[in-house]
Structure 1
Amino acid sequence: MNLQDTLSNQVKQAVLASFNVEIESVEFQATRKEFVGDITVVVFPMLRYVKGNPIVIGETIGNYLVDNVDNVKAFNVVKGFLNIEISDSYYLNFFDTIKDNDTYGFVNSSPSEKAVMVEYSSPNTNKPLHLGHIRNNLLGYSVAEILKAAGQKVYKTQIINDRGIHICKSMLAWKLFGHGETPESTGLKGDKLVGNYYVKFDQEYKKEIESLVSKGKSEDEAKKSAPILLEAQEMLREWEKGDDETVALWKKMNGWVYEGFNETYKNLGVDFDTLYYESNTYLLGKEFVAEGLKSGVFHTEEDGSVWCDLTDEGLDKKIVQRADGTAVYMTQDIGTAIQRIKDFPDVGGMVYTVGNEQDYHFQVLFLILKKLGFEWAKNLYHLSYGMVDLPSGKMKSREGTVVDADDLIDEMAATAEEISKELGKLEGYSDEEKQDLYKTIGLGALKYYILKVDPKKRILFDPRESIDFQGNTGPFIQYTYARIQSILRKATSSKLSDQVINAIELHEKEKELLKQLQLFPEVIQNAASQHSPALIANYTYDLVKEFNSFYQNVSILGADIEDEKIFRVQLSKVVANTIKNAFGVLGIKVPERM
């Protein structure tokens, strides 16, 4: 229980004992810097229950707390604000409970609790992962890790979009223009090679449209009748019929892509517990359309198509099956959600990490699943996020103007190298150590820059700005962690980090740092309930700012009193561990030296 929770009960008791009135809640705020105190009770809201002068009410409560609560040592009242001073023993007792706890702030999952399935990435197999996928992967992975830290069992998954006309476009272009090229023969990652043929298809398609328009067709007619498009559509039909040659080509090219994806995921530091493939799921859901028709959730139009009328819920009518009996994406998503619960019966909810252009789709999906009577449908969440832009502008994959994920990861490491050399921070490092550190700094900068922003907001990502060793950046926090490790290495020789301390008088900066540490468990829980890594990122920055203020105002290893020196080393160690844990759930590594 944190200080605010503890005091809340005690303030309620004070009001009851002093005024014979029960109040529902107590409003707290941080004590303003110009006043003495550790936490402030706002008296004004109590005037609804207690009549009188707010200054007198505040003094009455303050006197009760000093007389009856061990941890309250003094108070002062400024207008309607009761500023409370907390004893050093309270903070030292708190510190004693966390100093040896390497997982402070984290909660173990309960076997009886339902699990959560978090879906992220879910790429198409016709191109490499790009900057948009990076934000998706970082958000999904981090939310999964945060939910775990908050005490939930989590399965990480993705649905790989491995079928459809876009996939056939790459396949056809390779068949027509590839001359047997392979990742081995070209030296290209498989996903990049396949992506090149997706671009090639678009180039040839545009040429054919231009040719048909010059022969008198309208642009719309030309787009529909271009021979290369018709051939791609025929290839899709052959795939759906199970044609051996087409399926063999599909398996070969998708295999190249999967190898490329796996390399990118490894470099990005994300993973999955289970995979779903659209080629296996695209026919799912049709049986539930039939059930929905029986129960009245769906209805049939005159042309034979099946719809769900959601107008009473403020949405629209949504098709769930075409007149020819074929499924639409909504049908597939209904079936896939249900299949996941069959595959993992302990799952009681799901998080879908998908861009905000799909907000309406997920509103409809979740509502249909509720109407179909699935209890777990109330625990579905769309982790909606905004687009990532670069100063160079918007990306278009079919035109080859996408910012490739691998290239961006490499660029981040190169930028980290350039800035580190300018600052001259890495004397005495071997070349291998330097390269590892550049990657750690570069990836840390990328991840932190993206995750510190609320998921719903659009981001303008500037690689160089993200690798700043000052301000609210990943490298600034990593540098502070490395600085603490340097202190701890110096302290290890005298075994300061392991010794027991006697009672000491806390410096104001020590107390502020302990207050910040107290917040960590609550931040983890809030980040989990709000599905927001930004809360963790910005908490970590605040913690680092407090530590740096502490570092600049008190001497750690040079303290005159031995017990103070021991305490400051141990406090630094807890701060470092909290930074490491917080960055860990964000998927960011921290370097021991920098």
Structure 2
Amino acid sequence: MNFIIEATLKAVKQLYNIDISAADVNLQETRKEFEGQITIVTFPFTKFSKKSPEQTGSEIGTFLQNELNEVSGFNVIKGFLNISLSDEYWINQLYNEILPDDFAVIEPNGKKVMVEYSSPNTNKPLHLGHVRNNLLGFSVSEILAAAGYDVIKTNLVNDRGIHICKSMLAWQKFGEGETPQSSGLKGDHLVGKYYVIFDKEYKKQIEELKSIGQTEDEAKKNAPLIKQAQKMLQKWEAGDEQVINLWKTMNGWVYTGFADTYKKLGVSFDKFYYESETYLLGKDIIEEGLGKGVFFRKDDNSVWIDLTADGLDEKLVLRSDGTSVYMTQDMGTAQLKYNDYHMDKSIYVVGNEQDYHFKVLFTILKKLGKDGADGLFHLSYGMVDLPSGKMKSREGTVVDADDLMSEMEQTAKEQTEAMGKVDGFTENERLALYHTIGMGALKYFLLKVDPKKRLLFDPNESVDFQGHTGPFIQYTHARIRSVLNRAPIIDSPNTYTDISPEERDLIVTLTQFPEIIKSAAEAYSPALIANYVYELAKTYNKFYHEKSILQAEDEASKQFRLRLSAASGKVINKGMKLLGIDVPERM
């Protein structure tokens, strides 16, 4: 709407003899209860006009209507000048801006951004929290790429540490040689089973030690299992061949399981990092920091940093026995990632329970003077609950990602069949549709909410074909494809001149898409895309019900509405793709 801004600058100059900048002109979308499409806030101009906001708005509105052919009328509500643009303007927007292939294709901006997401532990399968993480990270990556960034999608695999040793030790003690092949379990599920077994046996030992007089803290430290796990970690870091071979075997099982889950979830990565390959670099950074006086060593040989002056606290960065903590390896990973890509921005998609950790990490890297430290950003998101309550993985009550996806497909099957939306489909087509709808429902429900907010996920609500859901949008796309399959668009000049309010509203909504992409990229928020596409689907359905397309009053009306339908389908498809959601051709 630069032409509106430029004309407003000219109006203020001629009417009030004042030069203002484009930044002084506040344009907004006109509220639905008022006539018009573009609103200019006139309050700031009253200091130049020396008149009321209403009179100032009326004077500027009259000037714009006389100056611009595109302005067909205006009204003033208090300090808001609501501009109506002509039918010809909106028709031209459809034909010249929206229908061409380059609509909403944003030029590369020359900036490189890395998005790190998923970050699974190789001691258990992915769960519902991981699902939100993966979907959020993948969608943010797609949105940033659409906004012109060069994006690198990365996955940092937590493949080492005490939690990994717990699963290994439990399998060693209680597994009796069980494998994914012998058990019929996915590899990540099998390893997760032994993580739970470790926890149960560990708790038994704690209770036994408490029964003979030890405090809970003493019992947790003295339980034989935890001491054995700690010893195993020390052996792993020392390169013990037997421990390393077991670690490679069990991690291999997990990676095969993860790959299946990622494929079904529809997410991908350009680069994998492994903490087993980054923690040593972290130890080098510790030595560097000690030399610079950023870190200090305590009497027990542990290494710390004092961040109390920064509003934080003292933070352990290396244990007294020389083993790494998360902070150690995160420093190493940050250095390695920057060395590999020299990105302008590095985004960490991690739940909000780690907010403090990332404040500390980013502060440390800045104090060390690391390149890229100013471009670090923690995309903090809220947890996901089910009606039954929060997940606790170590107690074996985790909401497994694979089970959740299967449940979503089953729910989609039941609701789709109940509505008779698969008549005439082959069995393979039905299965593909259930997957598309089930995953669309899951993804949309998790992404339509601002990432920072905690949310309650209801599988049944998410598959409602009439609600604020993915399936509603998917069904709208299928409806559009059905219309276009029943009538061809003829390559002919437009002769349609008098558009209806429903047609204009739909074109207005479509024109907003490029700015929505930019806003979503700036905010790292797929929710902006999700809610926009929902509004577009609602607006299309209103148009569909109010205006006949295939039985239009004349060929010009029919062709115009077919093109408007094609444009709507194209934008719905692209918007949903930015969320990682497929849209069916028919339902």
Q: Same fold (TM over 0.5)?
A: yes
Cα deviation for residue 238 of structure 1 reads: 2.1
8 Å contact from structure 1 (residues 66, 74) kept in 2: yes
Letter in 2 for 1:472: H
The residue that corresponds to 1:485 in the other structure is: 481
Report whether the alignment pairs 1:333 with 2:326. Answer: no
Give the letter aligned to residue 12 of structure 2.
Answer: V
Q: Specify the alignment match of 2:18 in structure 1.
A: 21
Question: Deviations for 1:315-348, whole angstroms, at most 9, x for unmatched residues?
Answer: 3333334455554322321221111111223x22
* CA gap 1:442/1:339 in 2 versus in 1, 3 angstroms: same
Q: Aligned in 2, Cα 1:312/1:172: closer, same or farther, shift over 3 Å?
A: closer
1:430-445 map, 5 Å: 430-445=426-441
What is the alpha-carbon distance in structure 2 between the residues aligned to residue 474 and residue 311 of structure 1?
47
392-401 or 518-527, which moves further after superposition? 392-401
Q: 1:3-60, CA deviations, whole angstroms, 9 ceiling, x for partnerless residues?
A: 3x43122112111111102344223344455543232323223213320133332222
From 251, 261, 277, the counterpart of 2:274: 277
The CA distance in 1 between the partners of 2:33 and 2:213, in whole Å, is: 80
SS in 1 for 2:142: helix
Q: Letter of the aligned partner of 2:356 in structure 1?
A: Y
Distance 1:204 1:435, change over 3 A: same
* 1:245 partnered with 2:245: no
Report the more deviating stretch, 144-153 or 560-569: 560-569
Matching of residue 310 in structure 1 with residue 310 in structure 2: no
2:253 to 253, 256, 280: 256
Any conservation in 2 of the 1:103–1:581 contact (CA below 8 Å)?
A: no
Gaps of 5+ in 1: none
Closer/same/farther in 2, CA of residues 109 and 37 from structure 1, 3 Å limit? closer
Letter in structure 2 aligned against 1:562 = E
What letter matches 1:72 in structure 2? V
Q: Residue type matched to 1:107 in 2?
A: I
Q: Match of 1:472?
A: 468
Q: Give the share of equivalent positions with the same residue, in percent.
A: 57
Q: How far apart in 2 are the matches of 1:300 and 1:223? A: 26
How big is the alpha-carbon RMSD for the aligned residues of Structure 1 and Structure 2? Answer: 1.9
Instruction: Determine if the alignment matches structure 1 residue 37 to structure 2 residue 36.
Output: yes
Distance (Å, rounded) in 2 between the aligned partners of 1:514 and 1:412: 34
Separation in 1 of the partners of 2:446 and 2:280?
36
Q: Are 2:444 and 2:469, in contact at CA under 8 Å, matched by a contact in 1?
A: yes
1:106 aligns with 105
Secondary structure at 2:281 match in 1: coil
Deviation at 1:86, TM superposition (A): 1.0
Q: Does 1:172 align with 2:169?
A: yes
Distance in 2 (CA, whole Å) between partners of 1:324 and 1:260 is 34
The whole-number CA distance in structure 2 between the counterparts of 1:440 and 1:235 is 44
Gaps of 5+ in 2: none
Q: Is the 8 A contact 2:26 2:41 kept in 1?
A: yes
Whether the aligned pair in 1 keeps the contact of 2:98 and 2:510 (CA below 8 Å) is no
- Answer yes or no: is the 8 Å Cα contact 2:338–2:371 preserved in 1: no
Residue 119, structure 1, aligned to residue 116, structure 2: yes
Normalising by structure 2, we get a TM-score of 0.95
Does the 8 Å contact 1:106/1:524 carry over to 2?
A: no
Deviation sequence 1:378-425 (CA, Å, 0-9, x none) = 221101011101111121212110000000000000011111122222
Question: How many Å separate the matches in 2 of 1:254 and 1:475?
Answer: 37
Contact 2:496 2:557 in 1 (8 A): no
| C-alpha distance 554-171 of structure 1, shift in aligned 2 (>3 A) | same
Question: For 1:391, which of 387, 391, 395 is the aligned residue?
Answer: 387
- Is the contact made by 2:118 and 2:134 (CA closer than 8 Å) also made in structure 1? yes
Which residue matches 1:149? 146
- TM-aligned CA deviation for residue 269 of structure 1: 0.3
Could you tell me how far apart the structure 2 residues matched to 1:538 and 1:354 are? Answer: 23
Say yes or no: does 1:70 pair with 2:66.
no
- Residue 414 of structure 1: aligned partner: 410
Name the counterpart of 1:564.
557
Distance in structure 1 (CA, Å) of the matches to 2:152 and 2:243: 34
**Could you list the per-position Cα deviations for residues 95-122 of structure 1 after superposition, in whole angstroms to 9, with x for gaps in the alignment?**
1223443452232425xx2311110011
Q: 1: distance between equivalents of 2:234 and 2:324?
A: 15
- C-alpha contact 1:504 1:564 (8 A) present in aligned 2: no
Report the equivalent of 1:446.
442
Cα distance in 1 between the residues matched to 2:33 and 2:322: 72
Rounded Cα–Cα distance in structure 2 between residues aligned with 1:198 and 1:368:
32
Aligned counterpart, 2:84: 85
The alignment status of 1:521 with 2:530, answered yes or no, reads no
Deviation at 1:271, TM superposition (A): 0.6
Give 1:233's match in structure 2, choosing from 230, 233, 236. 230
Whether 1:553 and 2:546 are equivalent positions in the alignment is yes
**TM-score, normalised to structure 1's length?**
0.94
Does 1:578 find its partner at 2:577?
no
Give 1:224 deviation, angstroms: 2.3
Please give the alpha-carbon distance, in whole angstroms, between the structure 1 residues aligned to 2:472 and 2:529.
15
SS of 2:280 mapped into structure 1:
coil
Which of 485, 489, 492 is residue 499 of structure 1 equivalent to? 492
Bigger mean CA deviation after superposition, 147-156 or 327-336 = 327-336
User: Is structure 2 residue 183 aligned with structure 1 residue 190?
Assistant: no
**Aligned amino acid, residue 407 of structure 2:** E
Indicate the residue corresponding to 1:208 in structure 2: 205
Letter of the 1:441 counterpart = I
Which stretch of structure 1 is more off in the superposition, 206-215 or 379-388?
206-215
The answer on whether the counterparts of 1:23 and 1:49 sit within 8 Å (CA) in structure 2 is no
Q: Is the 8 A contact 2:275 2:333 kept in 1?
A: no
C-alpha separation between the residues in 1 aligned to 2:393 and 2:176? 23
CA contact (8 A) 2:234 2:323 kept: no
